[in-house]
Each structure stands twice: as C-alpha cells, then as structure tokens.
C-alpha cells in the first residue's frame, strides 16, 4: 500500500523544515497536546518514514498543519523530528508559518499576526511580508524557566562538568564554557555530538524535569552548548544537540528561549533586553525577554525569537509498504 505525502521543503537559518502539506492523518484529541499523544500511539511510522533515511536524514524536522482546537487560534501545528514529536519547535514554526503563508495554507484573521496552537501551548506570531515572500517571523513563545541548576556529572573524555536544565518548549541541559570545554570551535561538531549523547544520558539519570502545567512534557531531550559570540554585534553562540546525531544548524528557537530564561535567572538579561544568538554555522535568531511570568510555582519569562526561512522546493514523497525501508532507518 502506497501513502503519498505532499511536502514543502526548506530551511530556517540552515536547519531543515519539511512542511507536510498533504497526507496528514486525522487525529483524536481535544488539544494539540492530546493529538500529539494520538499521533505517537498510532502514526509514528509517518514520522520515522519521513524523517529517517532514506527519505530524511539525522537533522530532519518538520510537521503538519491542523485546524486548531481552540476558537482563538488560526492554526495548529504538530511537529515531527528524528527524536519524536516535540512539544514545541522554534525553527520549525518559523519555517512552517513562512511556507504555509506563502502558499495559502494559512489564512490569518488579522494580516501580519497569527495565533498558533502547538502541543506546548498557544504562541503568538508577528510576521513581515514583501509581495509573496514572508521575510521575518517573530514568535512570542510559551513561558520558559530554569528547572535545575548545578547538576554535576563526569563525562568520559571531557572530565567533570556542571550543567543546568532550562525549559523553552523542550527541556535543555545547558553546558557553559568550563573545565575542558573551552568553546565550540575547540571541540568541533563530531566531538560535540559524541559528548552530547553521554551528557543527555547522565543528566537524565540524575534529574527528570516535568512541566508544572502539562505532565506529558517531561525529560531532557536536548543539550545546548553555550559559547561566546563570534561576531561583534551578536551576544552569544550555541550548538544544540537533538535526536541521536544532530547539531541544529539554526540557533534553535526553543533552545534560545531556554537560554534566555537561564541568563535572566542569572541576572545577566533583563525584561525588554534582546539577545542575538548565533548558530554553529553563523546563522542568527534575535531573542528577547518580553516579560516576567510564572510557570506553575516556578519563576519564568516570556521569550520571543525572530528569524526567517526559505522554501527550497516541493517534494512528493511515497511511503510504500512494499519497500523494505518503508518506516525508515537510522545508522547508529
């Protein structure tokens, strides 16, 4: 049996975005969070088929547009990625909103503004367009907060390090320069990937964060290596590890949100201040601490992230069950 998925492929700040515009399954659930659970239970083969090899690769990421479940939202998004269905994805949102607007799949009630329902909550979008191109997307994200500080672990080949855990739509183990970690260029991508897997495993063994308002969001999924900026007009640089082998080519929207909450908690960033974040490849998002808030009983912030995306083409993909690799595979 052949399943056909019509996709708009592209990238946000260099990281892939595959908007699955045709072929989305009907999902059960009274919210995007419940639909995410339903998708994972019944349709995860679509995610692995579209994200893993041979139709995808280690960094593949994207999602589906759905009618929202709440009357105040314009659209709902379900994210797919090599590691699972994320509660929120910043670079994915910027890409899917851009491609959806440019191709008439999203019809805003108010031009220039959107409310988007994602599994982690409802986010506000402000976008700019010139003729038929969307040139900038700003996400006012779900609230971000620091879940734990000072988790001490021993990493074979790197030595002892201390990490903090912060939430920005996903939970991040944040590694700041310290000890044998002098900066991103000192390690390089292959070592960052190798150490990240170990760090995530050790942090998971030591601490399991659970979102105070949605217990389906739990556990450290990503590792954010923080560093000084390369450019004079940037404020920081990062490398975000996700899945099993991926370094985000963008500055990572939820990672930047978590980092903003982290810096705010350290007293290094105030409400109203912006933070230009460089990615591993030098692309940028502009982050901002919009306001102070609470996440359940935790002190947090409302972060925003701004960036842009480029569509690279249409891609009609078949998942044919007679193909031995119909569900996709990963080389570990």
Q: Interface with ligand PYC by CB under 6 A: which residues?
A: 61, 89-91, 242, 248, 250, 252-254
Closer CB to ligand PYC, 75 or 223, in the complex? 223
Residue with the two structure tokens 């996903």: 170
Closer CB to ligand PYC, 146 or 252, in the complex? 252
89 tagged catalytic = yes
Least distance in angstroms from the C-beta of 222 to ligand PYC:
6
Alpha-carbon gap, residue 9 to 17, rounded angstroms:
6
Please give the C-alpha separations between residue 53 and each of 1, 50, 56, 135, 183, in angstroms, as whole numbers.
19, 8, 5, 31, 31
Least distance in angstroms from the C-beta of 72 to ligand PYC:
23
Closer CB to ligand PYC, 59 or 265, in the complex? 59
7 tagged catalytic = no
Annotated catalytic residue: which of 7, 51, 85, 89? 89
Least distance in angstroms from the C-beta of 15 to ligand PYC:
6
Axis-axis angle for helices 90-102, 253-265 (nearest 10): 140
Closer CB to ligand PYC, 248 or 278, in the complex? 248
Least distance in angstroms from the C-beta of 60 to ligand PYC:
10
Annotated catalytic residue: which of 7, 51, 85, 252? 252
Least distance in angstroms from the C-beta of 242 to ligand PYC:
5
Alpha-carbon gap, residue 266 to 299, rounded angstroms:
12
Alpha-carbon gap, residue 74 to 36, rounded angstroms:
18
Please give the C-alpha separations between residue 175 and each of 114, 170, 238, 259, 268, in angstroms, as whole numbers.
34, 16, 10, 10, 16
Own/partner pairs for 34-40, CB < 8 Å, 24+ apart? 35/66, 35/69, 35/76, 35/78, 35/119, 36/78, 36/85, 36/87, 36/119, 36/216, 37/216, 39/78, 39/85, 40/84, 40/85
Query: Across the chain, which distance is largest between two alpha carbons, in Å?
Result: 57
Closer CB to ligand PYC, 75 or 141, in the complex? 141
Question: Using the 8-state DSSP alphabet, how is residue 56 labeled?
Answer: S
Closer CB to ligand PYC, 4 or 312, in the complex? 312
Closer CB to ligand PYC, 98 or 254, in the complex? 254
Least distance in angstroms from the C-beta of 283 to ligand PYC:
11
Token pair for 228? 């000084």
Parallel, antiparallel, or unpaired for β 2-12 and 309-320? antiparallel
The full length of the chain comes to 332
Is there a contact between 289 and 308 (Cβ–Cβ < 8 Å)? no
Least distance in angstroms from the C-beta of 180 to ligand PYC:
26
The residues assigned a catalytic role are 89, 252
């Amino acid at each position: 049996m052949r399943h056909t998925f019509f996709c708009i492929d592209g990238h946000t700040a260099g990281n892939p975005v595959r908007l699955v515009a045709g072929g989305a399954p009907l999902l059960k659930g009274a919210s995007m969070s419940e639909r995410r659970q339903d998708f994972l239970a019944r349709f995860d083969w679509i995610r692995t088929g579209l994200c893993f090899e041979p139709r995808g690769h280690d960094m593949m990421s994207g999602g589906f547009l759905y009618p929202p479940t709440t009357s105040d939202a314009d659209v709902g998004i379900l994210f797919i990625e090599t590691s699972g269905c994320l509660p929120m994805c910043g670079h994915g949102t910027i890409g899917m909103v851009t491609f959806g607007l440019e191709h008439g799949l999203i019809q805003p009630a108010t031009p220039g503004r959107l409310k988007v329902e994602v599994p982690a909550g409802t986010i506000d979008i402000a976008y700019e367009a010139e003729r038929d191109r969307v040139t900038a997307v700003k996400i006012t994200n779900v609230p971000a907060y620091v879940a734990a500080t000072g988790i001490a672990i021993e990493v074979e080949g790197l030595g002892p390090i201390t990490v903090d855990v912060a939430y920005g739509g996903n939970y991040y183990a944040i590694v700041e320069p310290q000890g044998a970690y002098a900066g991103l260029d000192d390690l390089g991508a292959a070592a960052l990937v190798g150490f990240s897997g170990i760090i995530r495993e050790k942090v998971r063994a030591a601490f399991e964060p659970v979102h105070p308002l949605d217990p389906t969001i739990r556990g450290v999924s990503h590792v954010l290596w923080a560093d000084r900026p390369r450019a004079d007009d940037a404020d920081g640089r990062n490398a975000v590890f996700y899945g099993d082998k991926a370094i985000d080519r963008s500055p990572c929207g939820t990672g930047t949100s978590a980092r903003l909450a982290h810096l705010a908690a350290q007293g290094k960033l105030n409400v109203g201040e912006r933070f230009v974040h460089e990615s591993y490849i030098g692309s940028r998002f502009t982050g901002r601490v919009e306001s102070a808030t609470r996440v359940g009983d935790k002190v947090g912030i409302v972060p925003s992230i701004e960036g842009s995306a480029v569509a690279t083409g249409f891609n009609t993909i078949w998942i044919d069950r007679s193909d031995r690799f119909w569900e996709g595979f990963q080389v570990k």
